A and B are shown apart, each in its own frame.
Chain A
Amino acid sequence: MIMMQCPKCGSSVLESDKFCEECGTSLTAIGCEKCGAQPEAIDEEGFCSVCGFRKEVQRLEITINSRLAGVSDRGLRHHRNEDYLALQTLNNNTHILIVCDGVSSSSNPHIAAQTATESASTALITAIKHQKNPESAIKSAVAAALSSLCNIPYTKSINSEPPSTTLVAAVVQQNTATIGWLGDSRAYWISGNNSQQLTKDHSWLSEVVAAGEMTQAQAKQSPQANAITRWLGADVIDDAIPSIINFTIPSSGYLLLCSDGLWNYAEQPQQLTNLIQQTSNTDAITISQSLIEFARHSGGHDNITVALLSL
């Protein structure tokens, strides 16, 4: 579900809408949302050849059902959204959640995140349909994502890294969540006092803390604190090995996947639990939206992506 604005009255409309429900304007001929120019006026890069503004999807909302939903938002400080997500429920018993966060120092991180998400999603669905176990399904999804990343055209230079992204993917079957990841996009289990972080960041900070070289507080002072040590990209073909865990779902609760745009403002599982408990409506989309709003109100320094499965 892609949210846009009606060029005439500014109301929220869906990309699939044919008419604006508020003012009745036909939306099929929308080219430029800023000046209303015809679709032909938009060039291949998305720029309007009349007013110059770029047509951009800044927020992506996906609702599979009341239990599975997610939102990816540009945030307040970044000029574009370099995160992406995909959700899917197969045969009513298998759920797939994927969140990618494009590495902003690489070239075209927004394309990297979208490409990796889409190809990982397709590969996961195919693997699950072929009765592969979740762990090998995730491995083949990561391999598929990597090979499509390597196909994104980019000009090599000293200053630019090839398109790169983090990835966290979950396959939930019966009472087991299998989670694979590269980088610092996370998975949490949210359930009252049993809430916990399921993934361990592939980051400089988490590695020095785990090795006992520094305390969390000391490491956070370092300029490298946010540097990730594993990611998906053409420059790390041999190191793009995901960490994988199998988590047995103990009770009812929420599986939450998110980019650092959210957890930077609420790192502790308990903080996230409190935020979710404060939400009056328990629909997955409403909770996702409220988590996004929380991160935006906290500063919105980065793109924010949330994928949520209620169990």
Chain B
Amino acid sequence: MPNQFKAEVFQNQFLPEDAREVHAIMTVAVQAGDGIAVTPNNSRLFGIICDTSGSMGGAKIHAARDAMVKVVNLLPEDAHFFIVTGASKASVICPVSKATPDQKTWAIAAIKEIHSSGGTLMSTWLSQALEQFNKMPNAVRQALLLTDGQNDDSDESQLNKILQACEGVFQCDCRGVGTDWRVAQLQKIANKLLGTTDIIPNAEMIEVDFRAILEKAMSKDVSDVAMRLWTPQGAKILFCKQVSPDIVDLTHRAKIVKTQVVDYPTGAWGKQESRDYHFCIEVNPGNVGDEMLAGRASLVYTNNGVETKIVEARILATWTSDDAKSTKIDRRVAHYTGQAELAQSIQEGLEARAKGNIEMATAKLGKAVKLAHESGNEATAKLLKTVVDIEDAPTGTVRLKKAVAKEDEMALETRSTKTTRIQKPQN
């Protein structure tokens, strides 16, 4: 059954006199069904990038090897794959090959030969991966990067440069095993390459995580999708964020297509996938009674150099002197504004805690507890409980825990951007 994209915009289009800011939530869902179908891309390339620096020695490298073997075995036979291992420099232990039984056997033999030694220069790993991905530019191109440590500080400018080159060529989910890696470092790579970041606290959990990533990657069948946004002349896009399933600020990723039109990258989409976006557009205000098209958002994918528009939705603005109309806030806009505030409170709370500013940390994390409670974000509420003792969730009254496990703090930091969908109103 072909994929069909459906988009809907939720907003309060009514603005008071002189108001300029237009907020809208666009929900996009891929469903199987009839209608304008998107031609699925059946060519998939999956890359495994694994840290083999000295620190990976012992249980970690064993677990990583076992997990990679499992992933290779699970690869569908029509998919392509490659494996890059990296320390101070990178090696392609298995170049791009089709996942036939023979190739799998060959790759598994190579995986078993992996040993850990040397430092950590991630730019070299990504550079090798880039070369492999460039061999199949029309496939759905996704990678998984596993590390346990920090990138060498001397590598920073080189890493920035290579990330620039990788952007748009492939997507990459990043996983840190243990607690010696830096969240910000992996988030930087994952964000640039439209992937997720997460912690794998114990080496024995690598396998489960890898399988989940592979499964998600293999479900993607439309690649290189852009969110195209038209805005009126003189308008300014204050922000464009993906807000579900997690928050990804795309504002500064805008590429100008032509006057009044920009593209934001959204990567590949799979069956049954749904995402929500929050737009905030500043427009030239109209007179009371004026109606304006404040934005036209569409998803566009490119296949073999041909652009196809998948779905489109309109963002409107109508100026009114009726306060009853203009003061209402759309439920979804309010919900996602709250979820963004929740993520920010957690980040600020953890930063304050790291700096020893107990008062600020308590206030911010307390606010986060309150917001998580109100919005029914149970996953985040549970993570917050590992860092604070909650006295009263509805008011956000909390005490910082004296001892917090490093992995709990890192889990909260990496997962704070996960959002919930709006809950059904209760009767």
- The reply to whether B232 and A56 form a contact with Cβ atoms under 8 Å apart is no
- The reply to whether A79 and B294 form a contact with Cβ atoms under 8 Å apart is no
* B292 in the interface (beta carbon within 8 A): yes
* B35 in the interface (beta carbon within 8 A): no
* A74 in the interface (beta carbon within 8 A): yes
Q: Nearest residue in A to B290 (C-beta to C-beta)?
A: A53
Q: How far is the CB of B254 from chain A (nearest CB, A)?
A: 18
Q: How far is the CB of A308 from chain B (nearest CB, A)?
A: 25
- The reply to whether A74 and B289 form a contact with Cβ atoms under 8 Å apart is yes
By a CB distance below 8 angstroms, the chain A residues around B290 are 34, 53-54, 79
Interface-side segment among B183-191, B316-324, B336-344: B316-324
- The reply to whether B289 and A52 form a contact with Cβ atoms under 8 Å apart is no
- Interface bits A38-78 vs B (CB < 8 Å: 1, else 0): 00000101011111111010100000000000000010111
* A35 in the interface (beta carbon within 8 A): yes
Picked from A45, A50, A52, A76, the residue with its CB within 8 Å of the CB of B294 is: A52
- The reply to whether B321 and A76 form a contact with Cβ atoms under 8 Å apart is yes
- Of the listed residues A43, A54, A74, A79, the one surrounded by the most CB atoms of chain B closer than 10 A to its CB is A79
* A51/B232 contact (C-beta < 8 A), A77-B320, A77-B321, A77-B322 known: yes
- The reply to whether A51 and B322 form a contact with Cβ atoms under 8 Å apart is no
Q: Nearest residue in B to A35 (C-beta to C-beta)?
A: B233
Whole-angstrom distance between the alpha carbons of A45 and B321 in the complex? 24
By a CB distance below 8 angstroms, the chain A residues around B291 are 53-54, 56, 79-80
Secondary structure dominating the interface of B: loop
Considering only residues 286-339 of chain B, those with a C-beta below 8 Å from chain A are 286, 288-294, 317-322
Q: How far is the CB of B336 from chain A (nearest CB, A)?
A: 22
Whole-angstrom distance between the alpha carbons of A130 and B260 in the complex? 56
By a CB distance below 8 angstroms, the chain A residues around B322 are 77
Q: How far is the CB of A178 from chain B (nearest CB, A)?
A: 36
Whole-angstrom distance between the alpha carbons of A34 and B319 in the complex? 15
* B283 in the interface (beta carbon within 8 A): yes
- Interface bits B144-184 vs A (CB < 8 Å: 1, else 0): 00000000000000000000000000000000000000000
- The reply to whether A79 and B233 form a contact with Cβ atoms under 8 Å apart is no
By a CB distance below 8 angstroms, the chain A residues around B294 are 52
- Interface bits A80-114 vs B (CB < 8 Å: 1, else 0): 10000000000000000000000000000000000
Whole-angstrom distance between the alpha carbons of A56 and B286 in the complex? 13
Whole-angstrom distance between the alpha carbons of A53 and B286 in the complex? 8
Whole-angstrom distance between the alpha carbons of A77 and B293 in the complex? 20
Whole-angstrom distance between the alpha carbons of A56 and B291 in the complex? 9
- Of the listed residues B233, B291, B319, B322, the one surrounded by the most CB atoms of chain A closer than 10 A to its CB is B291
- The reply to whether A79 and B318 form a contact with Cβ atoms under 8 Å apart is yes
Q: Nearest residue in A to B320 (C-beta to C-beta)?
A: A79
By a CB distance below 8 angstroms, the chain B residues around A45 are 293
Q: How far is the CB of A296 from chain B (nearest CB, A)?
A: 12
By a CB distance below 8 angstroms, the chain A residues around B231 are 52
By a CB distance below 8 angstroms, the chain A residues around B357 are none
- The reply to whether B320 and A52 form a contact with Cβ atoms under 8 Å apart is no
- The reply to whether B233 and A50 form a contact with Cβ atoms under 8 Å apart is yes
Considering only residues 191-244 of chain B, those with a C-beta below 8 Å from chain A are 230-235
Q: How far is the CB of A298 from chain B (nearest CB, A)?
A: 15
Q: How far is the CB of B314 from chain A (nearest CB, A)?
A: 8
Whole-angstrom distance between the alpha carbons of A50 and B284 in the complex? 12
Considering only residues 360-388 of chain B, those with a C-beta below 8 Å from chain A are none
- The reply to whether A52 and B321 form a contact with Cβ atoms under 8 Å apart is no
By a CB distance below 8 angstroms, the chain B residues around A51 are 232-234, 284, 292
| Interface size, chain B (Cβ < 8 Å) | 24
Whole-angstrom distance between the alpha carbons of A28 and B294 in the complex? 27
- The reply to whether B321 and A54 form a contact with Cβ atoms under 8 Å apart is no
Whole-angstrom distance between the alpha carbons of A52 and B318 in the complex? 11
Q: How far is the CB of A221 from chain B (nearest CB, A)?
A: 19
By a CB distance below 8 angstroms, the chain B residues around A76 are 288-289, 321
Whole-angstrom distance between the alpha carbons of A76 and B289 in the complex? 8
- Interface bits A216-243 vs B (CB < 8 Å: 1, else 0): 0000000000000000000000000000
By a CB distance below 8 angstroms, the chain A residues around B233 are 35, 50-52
By a CB distance below 8 angstroms, the chain A residues around B260 are 50
- Interface bits B254-296 vs A (CB < 8 Å: 1, else 0): 0000001000000000000000000000011010111111100
By a CB distance below 8 angstroms, the chain B residues around A47 are 292-293
Whole-angstrom distance between the alpha carbons of A58 and B184 in the complex? 55
- The reply to whether B232 and A54 form a contact with Cβ atoms under 8 Å apart is no
- The reply to whether B288 and A52 form a contact with Cβ atoms under 8 Å apart is no
Whole-angstrom distance between the alpha carbons of A148 and B215 in the complex? 53
- The reply to whether B292 and A53 form a contact with Cβ atoms under 8 Å apart is yes
Q: How far is the CB of B6 from chain A (nearest CB, A)?
A: 13
Whole-angstrom distance between the alpha carbons of A46 and B284 in the complex? 18
Whole-angstrom distance between the alpha carbons of A50 and B290 in the complex? 15
By a CB distance below 8 angstroms, the chain B residues around A48 are 232, 293
Q: How far is the CB of A36 from chain B (nearest CB, A)?
A: 11
Q: How far is the CB of A51 from chain B (nearest CB, A)?
A: 5
Picked from A35, A52, A79, the residue with its CB within 8 Å of the CB of B293 is: A52
Q: Nearest residue in B to A56 (C-beta to C-beta)?
A: B291
Q: How far is the CB of B294 from chain A (nearest CB, A)?
A: 6
Q: How far is the CB of A202 from chain B (nearest CB, A)?
A: 27
- Interface bits A148-180 vs B (CB < 8 Å: 1, else 0): 000000000000000000000000000000000
Whole-angstrom distance between the alpha carbons of A78 and B318 in the complex? 10
- The reply to whether A54 and B289 form a contact with Cβ atoms under 8 Å apart is no
Q: How far is the CB of B286 from chain A (nearest CB, A)?
A: 6
Q: How far is the CB of A226 from chain B (nearest CB, A)?
A: 16
Whole-angstrom distance between the alpha carbons of A254 and B284 in the complex? 45
Whole-angstrom distance between the alpha carbons of A74 and B232 in the complex? 25
By a CB distance below 8 angstroms, the chain A residues around B234 are 51
Q: How far is the CB of B18 from chain A (nearest CB, A)?
A: 16
**Chain B residues in contact with chain A, CB under 8 A?**
14, 230-235, 260, 283-284, 286, 288-294, 317-322
**Chain A residues in contact with chain B, CB under 8 A?**
34-35, 43, 45, 47-54, 56, 58, 74, 76-80
Closest 10 CB pairs of A and B: A52-B232, A47-B293, A54-B291, A52-B292, A52-B293, A79-B318, A53-B292, A50-B233, A51-B232, A77-B322
9 extra interface residue pairs, beta carbon distance < 8 Å, beyond A43-B293, A79-B320: A45-B293, A51-B292, A52-B317, A53-B290, A53-B292, A54-B290, A56-B291, A76-B289, A77-B322
Chosen A-B contacts, 19 in total, with CB atoms closer than 8 Å, are: A34-B290, A45-B293, A48-B232, A48-B293, A51-B232, A51-B284, A52-B232, A52-B292, A52-B294, A53-B290, A53-B291, A53-B292, A54-B290, A74-B289, A76-B288, A76-B321, A77-B322, A79-B291, A79-B320
